[in-house]
Amino acid sequence: MRMTLPLPPHKFIDIAFNATDSMFKGVYHGKPRHPDDLHDVLLRSKAAGVSTCILTGGSLSESQEALELAEKHGVYSTVGLHPTRSNEMEEDPVGYLAALDALISKGKKGGKGKGRVVAIGECGLDYDRLHFCPSSIQKTHFLSQLSLARTHSLPLFLHSRAAHRDFIDILRSRSEDWKARGGVVHSFTGTKEEMEEILELDRSLFVGINGCSLKTEEGLEMVRGIPLERLMLETDSPYCTPTTSHASHAHLITLPPTLAALYSPTSSNKPDKFKAGEAVKGRMEPSGIGRVAWVVAKVKGVEMEVVVKAVWENTVRMFGLEEEEEEEVSDV
């Protein structure tokens, strides 16, 4: 029998959940610390009102794993190659792209699978970590992945870090590939001016905000300037956990206790002190998306429900998740 959980006050879609990360298998820095607890993480997310998640694919193998998890748990996934891993494509660019193409064909709506692939990515540019992959290779394989958006009529799940000028120039030069379905620049930590330039490219582009976006006062000011109709929310779990040193903390301490219990799984358990059914200290989970929404609402001076409703509509429309409109919160 499926257990029905009490309905939470708000419903969310976490557009960036790195469920393939080893932390959810209990492995930290290569060392096993506790059993796989992804199922419990998803249960906590449901209790917090996370209707569904989009699992991030950052390489061919990771995209395959993300799709398998999405099909198993009834959520969604992306397929793509993260810029810092673009070297993977160098040995056989044509073959690698063909393999991504085949996985998308299988996993999207109308394919042979369960229709769980909803975006192309994570793709883009990252000049903060050029020690992983030089910019020239990143640009080459960002361009090649843009063609997949047009081929499959899917939106882009984009990454831009310290590479704004090249990122904008590439998107502008290939607008015919992505404008039909648009995309979201996820985990955005750029300036207000950079955010505005992204949104000026086309009304089909959105900005994804998480705990990392809210670290500084400049970040809060940037978020204040994002129109609600161009905003999406995410956690980027297990990363981007809000901390007491972030600018967002001043707003998070105003979170009512009832909501704090839902959105902030209380735990002082470090990985090596793991307790089954409880969260792990410092590891972000999709249930924490309510904290992000609360801060965004406070920064914008509107009720949380206003933010949640706008973001829900944006996310459902761009990713084609209309089926989520009828879903009720239930056991995973």
Query: What mean pLDDT do residues 293-316 have?
Result: 98
| Residue 93 CB neighbour total at 10 angstroms | 15
How sure is the predictor about 83, in pLDDT bands with cuts at 50, 70 and 90?
very high
Strand 117-126 relative to strand 50-55: parallel, antiparallel, unpaired?
unpaired
What length is written for the chain?
332
Q: How does residue 130 score in pLDDT terms, banded at 50, 70 and 90?
A: very high
Buried/exposed 1-39: b ≥16 CB within 10 Å, e otherwise: eeeebeebebbbbbbbbbbbbebbbbebeeeebbeebbe
pLDDT surpassing 80 at residue 4: no
259: pLDDT strictly greater than 70: yes
Would you place residue 330 in the very low, low, confident or very high pLDDT band (cuts 50, 70, 90)?
very low
The gap between the terminal CA atoms of the chain, to the nearest Å, is: 12
pTM, full prediction: 0.94
Per residue in 279-299, pLDDT (tens digit) is 999 999 999 999 999 999 999
- pLDDT for residue 326: 63
User: Is the confidence at residue 9, as pLDDT, over 90?
Assistant: no
Q: What is the pLDDT of residues 313-328, one digit of tens each?
A: 999 999 999 888 765 4
Token output for 271? 């990985």
Q: Are 38 and 257 in contact (CB under 8 A)?
A: no
Three-state DSSP class for residue 194: helix
Query: Would you place residue 266 in the very low, low, confident or very high pLDDT band (cuts 50, 70, 90)?
Result: low
Crossing angle between the packed helical segments 135-152 and 164-173, to the nearest 10 degrees: 40
Q: What is the pLDDT of residue 323?
A: 83
Record the tokens describing residue 30, joined without a space. 């290569």
The residue among 113 and 247 whose pLDDT is bigger is 247
Question: What number is the average pLDDT over the span 224-233?
Answer: 98
pLDDT digits (tens, 9 = 90+) for 134-187: 999 999 999 999 999 999 999 999 999 999 999 999 999 999 999 999 999 999
Q: Which whole number is the average pLDDT over 230-253?
A: 96
Dist CA 228 CA 249 (whole Å): 22
Task: Render pLDDT for 98-129 as a digit per residue (tens, 0 to 9).
Answer: 999 999 999 999 888 889 999 999 999 999 99
What pLDDT was estimated at residue 327? Answer: 55
Residues 122, 142: Cα–Cα separation, whole Å: 10
Residue 331: pLDDT band with limits 50, 70, 90 = very low
Set out the domains of the chain in order of their start, with CATH numbers.
12-323 (3.20.20.140)
CA separation for the pair 213, 184 (Å, rounded)? 14
On average, the pLDDT of the chain sits at 94
pLDDT top residue among 18 and 265:
18
